[in-house]
Structure 1
């Protein structure tokens, strides 16, 4: 194979963005060969902007079995991601899926199993993994510079959304339409990076989600979650769409100091000796380890969505390791599912979660949602950016 023929499923804002860079041939070794989109207006846009060589389908099954594509890029509503991906794998296609991996881990686990059975390349559109700040943080943690992790804190409250934003689509901020609020819509990248940078998932979660606290919506718009890790470390995740101005601050504390990412900078307060060593040897009463404030140089370029797509194509053509393996999409979703389940049960939730229990609670929410869910791709509106 010299080129990967890619078909995009869904031409909302995200799908349209992917189509634009693919049609311009900005991804080496890839060509946009087909689109699957049920809405006539978006089909017309594709005809006018993508050229005669891009075939347009309004039926998913015909699209997947057409023989015109080698891989799909899924940019449909959240609920559809696992079902569409499984169908693609069953048709012998490689899959690149927009975030989140899905709405509930039970369906995403089935997607992962289908991916493994197919032997095809499977990647998630976790474009923030190309962000040089978080890449550098992961490098510092994995190389041992920070020592053993003691605490993780992420305050991510700069997701301000007005009531008019939520009113712009009947599916927005509903259990049936989107499957959740700030955790599933705005935070998937942070939830992924939270565990990816330290290569560690919590062992249990206690969360407090507030539903429609700041806006007239039925899903969560304010969350505070406390987590515990196997090594004794603890963590805090705070998020909302109702604060202005907001904060985006990720802080890691370890045996050898503290690292903070905020305002586009990575700062390392590095201890000259580890806290453990200092504590074992210091006899002076009041005192603490000598600390150096280091502004860490961060090199490289953030390649974003295009970079993840290029990596996906390179993995197909050349066996290049994936930046964001698809099966890892379940991790961030596990965290958001755990936060909701903890709130619904008013209790601690162990990880991995009880997937059947979460599904049961979610179905109750869907049954009472303002909009009624239809799982069929052709009847679901392809949503835009979040």
Structure 2
């Protein structure tokens, strides 16, 4: 195979943007050969946008055409696992948009289908391409920061007005999206959190507020507290109604502290580990010597195009995936645990009872305000530089 023939499942904002990137030659070794969408207006729009590209009404028809080697799943959240499983069954490689799904139970089924197919499976975690977070992961994995003791992430610059929520009946509903800020805006941070520090929480206690300052039914203000097997703790705070918001990640280890904020990384590095200092220090108010290190600019991030190029290279040349699809469940487990902790008003141990989570989610879906009563507008490409 000299080129990967791509099909796009869902010509919404993200699907149309990915299609455009491939169609215009943005990914080496890739070509756009097909797209599919259930809405006639979107299919007609696609024909005008990408001349010569086959347009299908259904995923099944596109997969049966023999025109695609790989698909990008960019359909609504709930359908991500379902569409991916169809593609794996047809012997096609799959790159799925975030989130991997809405609840862990369905994502496990997708992961099992991927493993059984033997096909390349990736997820569009474009922030794994961000040099800042790649550098953070490197500093932690190399031991430069020492053993992790604490993480704090305040990510409240996801401002969304009521007009945003009113722009679609599916938005911010349990039936339409399956959640709010955790499932829509924060999947990247919920992925980066365990990916950068190299470990998952063992238990979580969380407090979600639903429709705070907004007329919506899902969570838009969250505070979560996590504990880890090594004794470390973490706090995750997010909101869509703070103005101005903050995006600040702090990771404290035995050898110092790293802060990422305003696109910059600062490393407060201890000359001697805190453990060693504490064992030898005899001065009552003594503190470890610390050096403030401004980490040099790591350069621009290739974002979504970087993930698509890596995925294409994995198919063609066996390159290692930066964002394996199987890892999409990690961030989702955290968001599911946050929801479940709030719903049960209790701690949630990981792994948690996924059936219980699904039962609680189903109760909220049953009473959701979302009903499929209005057609979606034709797709317009999204500005990928503004999706994080």
TM-score under structure 2 length normalisation: 0.96
SS of aligned partner of 1:6:
strand
SS of aligned partner of 1:185:
coil
2:138 counterpart residue number: 139
Task: Give 4+ residue runs of structure 1 displaced > 3 Å after superposition.
Answer: 379-386
| 1:38 aligned onto 2:32 | no
Deviation at 1:298, TM superposition (A): 3.4
Query: How big is each residue's C-alpha offset from its partner over 1:44-79, in whole Å with a ceiling of 9 and x where there is no partner?
Result: 221112012x10000221111211100000110000
1:197 counterpart residue number: 196
* Matched-pair contact (CA < 8 Å) for 1:77–1:383: no
* Matched-pair contact (CA < 8 Å) for 2:42–2:378: no
Paired with 1:247 and 1:167, the residues of 2 have a C-alpha distance of 24
* Matched-pair contact (CA < 8 Å) for 1:270–1:292: yes
Structure 2 unaligned regions, length at least 5: none
Matches within 5 A, 1:251-290: 251-290=250-289
Paired with 2:227 and 2:62, the residues of 1 have a C-alpha distance of 45
Deviation at 1:371, TM superposition (A): 1.6
| 1:105 aligned onto 2:86 | no
Structure 1 unaligned regions, length at least 5: none
Deviation at 1:301, TM superposition (A): 3.1
* Matched-pair contact (CA < 8 Å) for 2:27–2:308: yes
- RMSD between aligned alpha carbons? 1.5
Deviation at 1:372, TM superposition (A): 4.1
Deviation at 1:382, TM superposition (A): 9.2
1:344 counterpart residue number: 343
2:88 counterpart residue number: 89
Deviation at 1:373, TM superposition (A): 7.2
1:366 counterpart residue number: 365
Task: Give the paired residue count.
Answer: 381
Paired with 1:267 and 1:55, the residues of 2 have a C-alpha distance of 49
Query: How big is each residue's C-alpha offset from its partner over 1:177-203, in whole Å with a ceiling of 9 and x where there is no partner?
Result: 000000000000000001100110000
Query: How big is each residue's C-alpha offset from its partner over 1:87-129, in whole Å with a ceiling of 9 and x where there is no partner?
Result: 1000000000000000000000000000000000000000000
* Matched-pair contact (CA < 8 Å) for 2:88–2:117: yes
Paired with 1:49 and 1:243, the residues of 2 have a C-alpha distance of 37
Paired with 2:75 and 2:57, the residues of 1 have a C-alpha distance of 13
Paired with 2:36 and 2:333, the residues of 1 have a C-alpha distance of 29
SS of aligned partner of 1:81:
helix
* Matched-pair contact (CA < 8 Å) for 2:45–2:379: no
Paired with 2:354 and 2:379, the residues of 1 have a C-alpha distance of 26
TM-score under structure 1 length normalisation: 0.96
Deviation at 1:82, TM superposition (A): 0.3
SS of aligned partner of 1:96:
strand
Paired with 1:277 and 1:116, the residues of 2 have a C-alpha distance of 45
SS of aligned partner of 1:160:
coil
